[in-house]
């Protein structure tokens, strides 16, 4: 058994002390290493960079330890137990890192625990040391929350935990703070919602609404949840959003304004956003944590693992996360169409969809999606959003071609039975083959167009066959959702802007648009359009003074140089999606729509 120990050494300096005890080290010299990435987030993060110091001992004797690569060390041969001690800097507030200050501690195992070469499948024991009282900190009130199996812990959760392997050890994040906790049961399995950070959330409401999502996903996969206990570890902040899936828990970060407040009712957009995050991460219990690409079985966290299937694991999940809110009864059909339209907007407002296929987006996640720059909008499409609308199209296509006898739901259940429950990795062509097999439909042309080309699928025609109308209008530049008032052509430079401390900075210059043709570039600070001062608040108002075809002078700072460009104003693209239910459809289409949404006749 490999034994690990975590000590909260210095909250003010954000330093954790971690020891690893190897009972029978390699007689030729034990090698240990730190992961380069964390499952669920496809970017090399080089967690070894946060190791401040490392040393080794065997009994009373110091053991020489040499660094042999950016993330690995080799210890000199020794007899008896080998103890490796690390000091780790922890100040990453994201769900992918480790964080320690005077108010809170959170960590993922990849950030702290060295992997012992040759011992990956050995049982691991982890001891979380209860910190002493520290002046200026809140540690006296801290407790421990995790889904890892407890072996011998005190009333606050400090003590020893056990994992069956190193992979399991690093798949259980820990929250150590003065958090609040709610409990509920779903599918006969106890669940916990942990909220860390200041908040006034209605925990009773959360423990009433979240189980509906959990049970809906269980119904979809037609099986009990694949764990004995589940924990939602939620960091509540003023600004932030995101999540990371784990085998029996999820790490979430959310705005406190997205949580429901006591004595309120209804599900407004902020709370809907949080429920969508919960739904997304919980769906991953099946889709990526158990059903996973063959290249992830087992994980090799020392370098990238390439797959063209991320659109299946993130895009399909992004389709079902919102659909589950509707099917569970938490939101109304019109609210679901708003969420669906949001995904269409993300795709249609990204010129990169004309450059990159879904397979390419999946394969190149390591170097493109997770490393955005000023040209990403022109070169990259997200396998989340485009994957979601592609999953929608696949679902509707199967339903249409089989007369409603089969759907994407059936494909997901088959994936679970064949790959998830057996622990078999999904081959690169496995999803397509199974979709063909389960549906009985020849889907070769569909997949060639959907994931191996940049052509748009016939979404409007597909949705119309399910009683949903799809239309696009012009989105005025510098706004976020309102279409042009008269439906006409609104002026556009062809840029995306960001507010940089009150300055208008060009985040992106869109391919082929007026700004790019004139020579404007990402990072330019926009000062004026035709002599009219531009601010983040006034950008859309100033631009509205012009019509497509007008010639204007644009003044910018590029670095420290004042530049002027002459350009002809363009028209905003037709990229704002509107979805609506057709209330006059035939009974056959209404039945088809109800079977898809799993609700009755929608009413607005």
Kindly indicate the confidence band of residue 488, based on its pLDDT and cuts at 50, 70 and 90. low
Mean pLDDT, residues 171-180: 98
Alpha-carbon distance of 347 to 576, in angstroms, equals 10
Q: Looking at the whole model, is its pTM more than 0.85?
A: yes
Residue 601 in this model has a pLDDT that exceeds 70: no
CA distances from 421 to 121, 223, 224, 227, 409 (A): 20, 10, 11, 12, 17
Report pLDDT digits (tens) over 422-438. 999 999 999 999 999 99
Closest CA to 408 of 420, 422, 393: 393
Domains 179-285 and 300-471+580-597 share a fold: yes
CATH number among 3.40.47.10, 2.60.40.3650, 3.20.20.70, 3.90.226.10, domain 1-176: 2.60.40.3650
Supply the pLDDT for residue 450.
99
Report pLDDT digits (tens) over 377-399. 999 999 999 999 999 999 999 99
Residue 180 in this model has a pLDDT that exceeds 80: yes
Sequence-separated (6 or more) residues with CB below 8 Å from residue 474: 483, 484, 487, 488, 489, 490, 571, 572, 573, 574, 575, 576
Residue 504 in this model has a pLDDT that exceeds 90: yes
Report pLDDT digits (tens) over 4-53. 999 999 999 999 999 999 999 999 999 999 999 999 999 999 999 999 99
User: How do the domains of the chain map onto residue ranges?
Assistant: 1-176, 179-285, 300-471+580-597, 491-572
Kindly indicate the confidence band of residue 599, based on its pLDDT and cuts at 50, 70 and 90. confident
Mean pLDDT, residues 261-279: 95
454 close to 397: Cβ distance less than 8 angstroms: no
Residue 470 in this model has a pLDDT that exceeds 90: yes
Report pLDDT digits (tens) over 550-568. 999 999 999 999 999 999 9
User: What residue has token string 């043709």?
Assistant: 517
Report pLDDT digits (tens) over 127-142. 999 999 888 888 999 9
Supply the pLDDT for residue 483.
52
Residue 464 in this model has a pLDDT that exceeds 70: yes
Supply the pLDDT for residue 604.
33
CATH number among 1.10.390.10, 3.40.50.300, 3.30.300.30, 3.40.80.10, domain 179-285: 1.10.390.10
Residue 603 in this model has a pLDDT that exceeds 60: no
Alpha-carbon distance of 262 to 259, in angstroms, equals 10
CATH match of 491-572 with 2.30.42.10:
yes
Q: Which two tokens stand for residue 478?
A: 């510098």
Q: Which two tokens stand for residue 135?
A: 């002046």
CATH class of 300-471+580-597: mainly alpha
Q: Which two tokens stand for residue 188?
A: 């006969």
């Amino acid at each position: 058994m490999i034994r690990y120990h975590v000590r909260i050494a210095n909250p003010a300096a954000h330093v954790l002390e971690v020891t690893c005890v190897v009972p029978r080290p390699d007689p030729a010299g034990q090698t240990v290493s730190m992961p380069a990435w964390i499952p669920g987030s496809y970017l090399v993060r080089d967690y070894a960079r946060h190791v401040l110091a490392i040393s080794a001992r065997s009994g009373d004797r110091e053991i020489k330890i040499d660094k042999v690569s950016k993330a690995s060390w080799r210890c000199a041969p020794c007899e008896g137990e080998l103890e490796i001690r690390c000091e780790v800097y922890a100040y990453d507030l994201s769900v992918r890192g480790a964080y320690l200050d005077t108010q809170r501690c959170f960590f993922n195992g990849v950030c702290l625990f060295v992997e012992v070469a040759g011992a990956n499948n050995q049982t691991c024991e982890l001891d979380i040391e209860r910190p002493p009282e520290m002046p200026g900190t809140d540690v006296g009130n801290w407790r421990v929350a995790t889904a890892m199996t407890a072996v011998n812990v005190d009333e606050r959760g400090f003590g020893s935990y056990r994992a069956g392997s190193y992979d399991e050890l690093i798949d259980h994040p820990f929250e150590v703070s003065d958090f609040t906790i709610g409990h509920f049961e779903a599918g006969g399995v106890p669940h916990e919602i942990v909220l860390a950070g200041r908040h006034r959330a209605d925990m009773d409401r959360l423990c009433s609404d979240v189980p509906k999502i959990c049970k809906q996903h269980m119904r979809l996969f037609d099986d009990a949840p694949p764990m004995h206990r589940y924990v939602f570890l939620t960091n509540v902040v003023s600004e932030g959003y995101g999540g990371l899936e784990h085998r029996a828990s999820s790490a979430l970060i959310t705005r406190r304004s997205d949580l429901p407040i006591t004595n309120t009712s209804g599900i407004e957009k902020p709370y809907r956003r949080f429920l969508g995050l919960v739904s997304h991460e919980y769906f991953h219990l099946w889709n990526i944590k158990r059903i996973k690409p063959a290249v992830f079985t087992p994980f090799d966290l020392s370098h990238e693992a390439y797959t063209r299937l991320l659109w299946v694991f993130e895009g399909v999940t992004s389709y079902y996360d919102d659909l589950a809110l509707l099917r569970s009864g938490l939101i109304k059909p019109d609210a679901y169409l708003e969420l669906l339209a949001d995904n269409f907007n993300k795709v249609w407002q990204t010129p990169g969809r004309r450059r990159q296929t879904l397979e390419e987006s999946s394969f190149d996640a390591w170097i493109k999606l997770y490393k955005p720059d000023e040209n990403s909008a022109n070169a990259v499409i997200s396998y989340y959003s485009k994957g979601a609308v592609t999953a929608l199209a696949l679902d509707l296509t199967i339903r249409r071609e089989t007369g409603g006898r089969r759907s994407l739901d059936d494909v997901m259940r088959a994936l679970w039975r064949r790959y998830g429950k057996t622990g078999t990795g999904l081959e690169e062509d496995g999803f397509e083959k199974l979709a063909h097999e389960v549906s009985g439909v020849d889907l070769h042309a569909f997949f060639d167009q959907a994931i191996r080309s940049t052509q748009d699928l016939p979404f409007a025609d597909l949705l119309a066959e399910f009683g949903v109308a799809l239309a696009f209008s012009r989105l005025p530049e510098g706004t976020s959702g309102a279409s042009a008032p008269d439906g006409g052509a609104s002026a556009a430079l062809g840029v995306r802007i960001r507010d940089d401390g009150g300055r208008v900075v060009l985040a992106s210059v869109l391919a082929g648009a007026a700004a790019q043709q004139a020579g404007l570039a990402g990072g330019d600070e926009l000062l004026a359009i035709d002599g009219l001062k531009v601010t983040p608040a006034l950008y859309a108002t100033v631009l509205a003074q012009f019509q497509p075809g007008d010639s204007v002078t644009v003044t910018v700072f590029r670095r420290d140089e004042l530049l002027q460009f002459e350009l002809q104003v363009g028209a905003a693209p037709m990229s704002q999606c509107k979805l609506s239910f057709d209330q006059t459809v035939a009974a056959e289409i209404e039945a088809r729509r109800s079977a898809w949404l799993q609700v009755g006749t929608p009413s607005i």
